[in-house]
Amino acid sequence: MRVLGIESSCDETSAAVLEARWSLRSNVVASQADLHAPYGGVVPEIASRRHVELVTLVIQEALDQAGVTLDDIEGVAVTNRPGLIGSLLVGVAAAKGFALARSLPLVGVHHLEGHIFSNFLAEGGPELPAVALVVSGGHTELYYVRGLHDYLILGRRRDDAAGEAFDKGARVLGFGNGGGAALDRAARDGDPKAVPFPRSRTDNPLDFSFSGVKTALVRFAKENAAQVPVADVAASYQAAIVDVLVEHAIQAAVRTGVKRVLVGGGVAANSELQRRLRAEGEARGLAVSFPPLSLCTDNAGMIAAVGHSLLDRGVRSGLDLETFARAPLTEKVYSF
């Protein structure tokens, strides 16, 4: 089944054509980052207006790059949760329009499931069970992936997401709105042991809390910034976040007894997280998988992959498909 995927949950307008189950023909992403940069964060009203301008153009580009027309599309998959409501509505309205006009099956997709499926796309299929670490601007969660579309919660964020901590760190250290990617670059030549930033612990050892390290950085920048090279501060701050992500992901695999760790979401692009988790995984005989950069950050390819799998199982959404700002991937908690 050839599936058109649409993603517009935040500030990326994206469309993709999935040729067969794990085979992408195109994956076009139009980022609005420059548009929001002067405001220091995504402005929901601006995001939805831009999605309206871009969505049909991006869909056409995805069809062109795949060398197909709408006549060749057999199903439509769209992110309908979680995300900015105004942004989600644009993609969902477009998807409904195509589905209605062409009498195509439609399915709503959970954004986080997309980030997990990025790994399956990259590897040509799932090998399960596995532990999945989903780390993005809005999420930091650990799941036990028991089977396809079958998730149990292992750990979740108590306050800020890891990506938020990276974004804040980048602003405090003078990298503007470059986010985690800019901090990652700056940290490359720095000493991660220069500043002892705190590694936060919570009562559930697999939960995450990054507000403490964020506050510690703000305080450090006010009081001591002049004495320490910025690369060293960036490397130390990044290490404090990465240490916790790596430790919890490894612990999750060890405690559940699975041999695979999947990572998804924008922060999966972090070079230090990749290096450390791969090394720790190798030392413990765990297979660690990161999607390629183009599938780490928000994209419609991952949404098309989830959609294909759901459509294949007969899951269908009606033209009354709703959008949700918040929606857990699952309510089921893993019990040890």
Q: Which residues bind ligand KG4 (CB under 6 A)?
A: 10, 136-138, 163, 166-167, 179-181, 184, 265-267, 269-270, 297-298
Applying CB under 5 A, which part among 69-77, 131-139, 161-169, 281-289 lies near Zn ion?
131-139
Taking the alpha carbons of 30, 50, 95, 151 in that order, is the dihedral positive or negative? positive
Give the torsion through C-alpha atoms of 92, 93, 97, 103, to 10 deg.
40
Q: Decide: is 14 part of the binding site for Zn ion (CB under 5 A).
A: no
Q: Detail the DSSP E strand segments found in 21-88.
A: 23-31, 75-81
> The tokens of 190 are what?
């720095």
Applying CB under 5 A, which part among 34-42, 61-69, 292-300, 317-325 lies near Zn ion?
292-300
Residue with tokens 């294949």: 312
Minimum CB–partner distance for residue 75 and Zn ion (Å): 22
The gap from C-alpha 192 to its chain's centroid, in whole angstroms, comes to 25
Minimum CB–partner distance for residue 265 and ligand KG4 (Å): 4
- Rounded-to-integer distance, Cα 221 and Cα 228, Å: 10
Q: Decide: is 7 part of the binding site for Zn ion (CB under 5 A).
A: no
Minimum CB–partner distance for residue 228 and ligand KG4 (Å): 21
The gap from C-alpha 306 to its chain's centroid, in whole angstroms, comes to 14
Q: Which does 138 bind (CB under 5 to 8 A by kind): Zn ion, ligand KG4, none?
A: ligand KG4
- Rounded-to-integer distance, Cα 69 and Cα 57, Å: 13
Applying CB under 5 A, which part among 35-43, 56-64, 120-128, 136-144 lies near Zn ion?
136-144
Q: Which is nearer to ligand KG4, 195 or 302 (CB)?
A: 302
- Rounded-to-integer distance, Cα 261 and Cα 289, Å: 6
Burial of 219 (0-12, 13-18, 19+ CB in 10 A): exposed
Q: How many residues bind Zn ion (CB under 5 A)?
A: 2
| Position among 7, 164, 232, 298 found at the interface with Zn ion (CB under 5 A) | 298
Q: Which is nearer to ligand KG4, 179 or 301 (CB)?
A: 179
Q: Which residues bind Zn ion (CB under 5 A)?
A: 136, 298
